[in-house]
Amino acid sequence: MSSVFTASFITLAIAGIADAGYLVWKHYHNSSKPLVCPLDHDCSKVTESKWSTIFWVRNEVLGLLFYVSMLIAGLASFFMPGLILVSVPLILLIKLAAGAGLVFSLFLIWVQIYKIKDYCFYCMLSALITLLLLVNSFFL
Amino acid sequence: MKQSKLICDYSHLASFMLRTALAVPFLFVAIDATLQPEAWVGFIPFFLRNLFPETLLLGAHAVFDFILAVWLLSGWKIKYAAAFSALNLAAIIIVNLTALDIIFRDVGLLLAAIALGVLQFKK
């Protein structure tokens, strides 16, 4: 395993935590002020739409849990190489989880384009980070 | 009027891109220097290695880079984060001038840090 790719995987996971964490923080602790979008765009139309939750859990919370689990898995793959969880190698689990994350991100992009007809910068950024995590997972 | 509106609209994006461009390498260095210190210890100048243990210097720099990355991503008092980033990068370039073929990318990052500082100067 290449530790350079482990470092880049962990870097991406932390970037994802920052992205999703900002959305969670804004929603639960600082919702009186609008999201600061780098594109000067109103993201709240997306983040506060009816599509903002799935199975009663907000998407940004799911994203935060996903990135935290990716961070833990990345660290575990470095410090415990060859770790097997429930008969499945950790590296395979990371690939499957990153793939599932990307499918969910693509679904959310589809929702933004065809249902909400608007976009959220941080959601797009999250999809990009998830794509990079999946690509990176093949080099772990 | 139209031009100033355009600059105003895209200054947030430019700032975000510059902050990310600086934060990601800082994060990567902090993490990689922790995971494989032997790959980074060569960038610490000899005079410092004679004064302090290598692991201490590398660990301290990794923590500093991590804090800088989080600070840049947070968006809080960015001009100061940009100043610290520029000083950090300038120090790295100066003490590693003999390895210019490797650290020439840091010159680009240094200019990005200065650009971020200039962009935020009057804010």
Query: How confident is the model over A81-99, as pLDDT tens digits?
Result: 878 887 788 999 999 999 9
Contact A11 B75 (CB under 8 A): no
Average pLDDT over residues A65-71: 97
d(Cα A28, Cα A48) in Å, to the nearest integer? Answer: 12
Could you give the count of Cα atoms lying within 13 Å of B6 in the half-sphere of its Cβ?
3
Task: Give the count of domains, chain B.
Answer: 1
* Least confident range of A75-84, B18-27, B91-100: A75-84
**Interface predicted TM-score (ipTM) over 0.85:** no
Could you give the 3-state DSSP secondary structure of residue A87?
A: coil
Which residue of chain B comes nearest to A71, CA vs CA?
B31
Q: Which residues contact B6 (CB under 8 A, 6 or more apart)?
A: none
Compute the radius of gyration of chain A from its Cα atoms. 16
Check: CB of residue A1 under 8 Å from CB of residue A78: yes
The structure tokens 């935060």 sit at A64
| pLDDT 10s digits, B31-58 | 999 999 999 999 999 999 999 999 999 9
Is residue A38 less than 8 Å (CB to CB) from chain B?
Answer: yes
Q: B24 lies in which domain range?
A: 2-122
Average pLDDT score over residue span B2-21: 74
At B1 the pLDDT is 45
- Encode pLDDT of A92-125 as tens digits: 999 999 999 999 999 999 999 999 998 899 999 9
B9 falls in which pLDDT band (50, 70, 90)?
A: low
- Tell me if chain A has a CB within 8 Å of the CB of B11: no
* Segment among A36-45, A99-108, B33-42, B59-68 with least mean pLDDT: A36-45
The whole-number pLDDT of residue A85 equals 80
Q: Return the residue in A10, A80, A125, A129 with the most chain B beta carbons within 10 A, the one to mutate for interface testing.
A: A10
Is the separation of the CB atoms in A11 and B73 below 8 Å?
Answer: no
H helical segments located in B36-99: 46-51, 54-74, 78-95
Q: Which residue of B has its CA nearest to A9?
A: B28
Instruction: Judge whether A39 is closer than 8 Å to chain B, CB to CB.
Output: yes
**CB B65 within 8 Å of CB B88:** yes
CB B5 within 8 A of CB B113: no
This prediction has a pTM of 0.87
* Contact: A10, B31; criterion CB under 8 Å: yes
